[in-house]
Structure 1
Amino acid sequence: MLLAFLLTLFAGATTSIGAALGVMGRGTSPKVLAGGLGLSAGVMLYVSFVELLPEGASVLSGGGAATPRGTALAVLSFFVGILVIAVVDRLVPTAVNPHEFAGRMSGSGGRPEVRDAEEQAADRALRARLLRTGLVTAGALALHNVPEGFATFMAALQAPEIAIPVVAAIALHNIPEGLAIAVPVRRATGSRSKAFWLATMSGMAEPAGAVIGYLLLGPFLDGTTMGAILAGVAGVMVFVSLDELLPAAEETGEHHTVIYSLIGGMAIMALTLLVL
């Protein structure tokens, strides 16, 4: 049991690698911001459509080939996931602490901005949106990580040799997840520590999910429930990618960087799944 928990903890902790990359060096430059957000959107979209949704349909079909009924339930769960995160998204205020950045920029030493009022207002709006993006992304990924951590833990309990490639794949795709949270939060707040720890805590949802699932949810998580959760999480990740990550990335003005990073994220995830 200890080995299973440590493997799950390792998978969740790799989010910190992405978080560290997001707060180091020129982590707030337009190209890095666009690249990080685009990369993570590509990973999330690919995993959602190629792994989570088909796996949910398979589980809902009894564990074998997807049946029409299982596929229909998976599709329904997918859109329920989108509906849930859309409602949550609407409940988050559009302007998050609008006075925090008024007349100031991180690194300005507290001196008044030399830019005109219109440029300052545009920057405040972008920062508020980026902070909101980071918070919603962290919440969505934490939600995604709970059942993922439970599944990793249970696989490791049953057969550690099967869990190793699962843990490796999860660890690899957790890196851009950490980047996707840390980059916009750092850009919005100017704080490396806030960005790093918010991203890290989202990854810690995996070992938390393992403990909660094992102690409380195990007896109630039958195949139907787990299949619906997988498909629903796919919907959450697709919504976050299309509604938050990609629009925020495009606002940097680095369109081609966004597209190349999006495709790169898909390719990285595809290669990971093929190899592991």
Structure 2
Amino acid sequence: MILSLIVGLGLPLLGTTAGAACVFFMKKQMNLLLQKALSGFAAGVMVAASIWSLLIPAMEQSEAMGKLAFLPATIGFWLGIIFLLLIDTLMPHLHIDSKEAEGVKSNFKRTTMMVFAIIIHNIPEGMAVGVVYAGWISGSTNITLTAALALSIGIAIQNLPEGAIVSMPLCSEGCSKPKAFGYGFFSGIVEPIAALLTIALSSIMVPVLPYFLGFAAGAMLYVVVEELIPEMAEGEHTNLGTIMFAVGFSLMMVLDVALG
């Protein structure tokens, strides 16, 4: 069990690290079309993961409620939206290619606030992995190890482009390549930490697991709508982001159904 847990929580960080390492092999400035494609792919994976790995299992575990089986997932979903909205409102951060910082006013450097934006992005992903593994560890739910591993693999795959999206713009902002890679790696550490904290609360979580599954889904979809979709639609129109969204969605859906 411990080895499975280490692998499951480590895969997303490995994906981010590998993506951030692209800064050593690519040009200083990321191509805008490539950025749109990567953002679209990540958005597709996150949407599919929210549905198949989180919301559907939440409703399945509430089936004893009959026609009200949707209620825990819906309540949790909205709590996740509100939670990310509060973090987004309070934490100073700067989205990629944005000139105006969000959150409370601060004197943080531009690069620091860009990293904060990615940290906000990664918190719900870590929570999603943590809540699914907490359900598996408890043994009292219908969440299997393969289903939990499918989510970890899906998050790791979409973290590959995300790692590049973090490190490349930081490099173009003036960071050295090793420093930009370090920021990318640091942003990924948030995920296993969030996952471990979520698992640590498993004793009180399991009885209300459907709510937590919905919570993680709401938080992830907030990030998709707030950050990834605007990035894939920014600037000159292209269908590339939409196509890559469909690719990411399909891949995560296949992973979850095949391994779940």
TM bucket, shorter chain = 0.7 to 0.9
Aligned to 1:117: none
Structure 2 counterpart of 1:179, which letter? P
Aligned to 2:67: 68
- Counterpart Cα distance in 2 of 1:7 and 1:177: 15
SS at match of 1:79: helix
- Counterpart Cα distance in 2 of 1:133 and 1:266: 26
Cα drift, residue 227 of structure 1: 1.7
Aligned to 1:103: none
- Counterpart Cα distance in 2 of 1:275 and 1:194: 39
TM-score normalised by the chain length of structure 1: 0.71
TM-score normalised by the chain length of structure 2: 0.74
Question: For the Cα contact (< 8 Å) 2:84–2:219, is it kept in 1?
Answer: yes
Cα drift, residue 39 of structure 1: 0.5
Q: Greater CA radius of gyration, 1 or 2? A: 1
Question: For the Cα contact (< 8 Å) 1:14–1:172, is it kept in 2?
Answer: no
Structure 2 counterpart of 1:68, which letter? K
Structure 1 residues 21 and 71: alpha-carbon distance in aligned structure 2, compared to 1, 3 A threshold? farther
> Per-residue displacement from partner, 1:103-131 (whole Å, max 9, x unpaired)?
xxxxxxxxxxxxxxxxxxxx7728x6896
Q: What number of residue pairs does the alignment pair up?
A: 241
SS at match of 1:25: coil
Structure 1 residues 143 and 45: alpha-carbon distance in aligned structure 2, compared to 1, 3 A threshold? closer
- Counterpart Cα distance in 2 of 1:174 and 1:66: 34
Cα drift, residue 23 of structure 1: 6.3
Question: For the Cα contact (< 8 Å) 1:147–1:206, is it kept in 2?
Answer: no
- Counterpart Cα distance in 2 of 1:222 and 1:156: 10
Structure 1 residues 80 and 29: alpha-carbon distance in aligned structure 2, compared to 1, 3 A threshold? same
SS at match of 2:201: helix
- Counterpart Cα distance in 2 of 1:180 and 1:11: 14
> Per-residue displacement from partner, 1:84-117 (whole Å, max 9, x unpaired)?
2122212244768xxxxxxxxxxxxxxxxxxxxx
Give 1:174's match in structure 2, choosing from 141, 156, 165. 156
Structure 2 counterpart of 1:231, which letter? G
Aligned to 2:225: 242
Is 1:228 matched with 2:230?
A: no
Between 1:266-275 and 1:181-190, the stretch displaced more is 181-190
Structure 1 counterpart of 2:168, which letter? R
Question: For the Cα contact (< 8 Å) 1:34–1:257, is it kept in 2?
Answer: yes
SS at match of 1:72: helix
Aligned to 1:106: none
Structure 1 residues 3 and 124: alpha-carbon distance in aligned structure 2, compared to 1, 3 A threshold? closer
Structure 1 residues 4 and 269: alpha-carbon distance in aligned structure 2, compared to 1, 3 A threshold? closer
Percent of residue pairs bearing the same amino acid type: 21
Cα drift, residue 31 of structure 1: 1.5
- Counterpart Cα distance in 2 of 1:263 and 1:251: 18
Structure 1: 5+ residue stretches without partners: 97-122
Alignment RMSD (CA, Å): 3.4
Structure 1 residues 252 and 188: alpha-carbon distance in aligned structure 2, compared to 1, 3 A threshold? farther
Aligned to 1:125: 99
SS at match of 1:221: helix
Cα drift, residue 137 of structure 1: 3.9
Structure 2: 5+ residue stretches without partners: 103-109
Structure 2 counterpart of 1:248, which letter? E
- Counterpart Cα distance in 2 of 1:167 and 1:84: 26
- Counterpart Cα distance in 2 of 1:210 and 1:85: 16
Question: For the Cα contact (< 8 Å) 1:134–1:182, is it kept in 2?
Answer: no
Structure 1 residues 31 and 22: alpha-carbon distance in aligned structure 2, compared to 1, 3 A threshold? farther
> Per-residue displacement from partner, 1:112-167 (whole Å, max 9, x unpaired)?
xxxxxxxxxxx7728x6896676334333233314523643774797xxx535632
Question: For the Cα contact (< 8 Å) 1:34–1:254, is it kept in 2?
Answer: no
- Counterpart Cα distance in 1 of 2:24 and 2:243: 22
- Counterpart Cα distance in 2 of 1:134 and 1:37: 16
Aligned to 1:55: 57
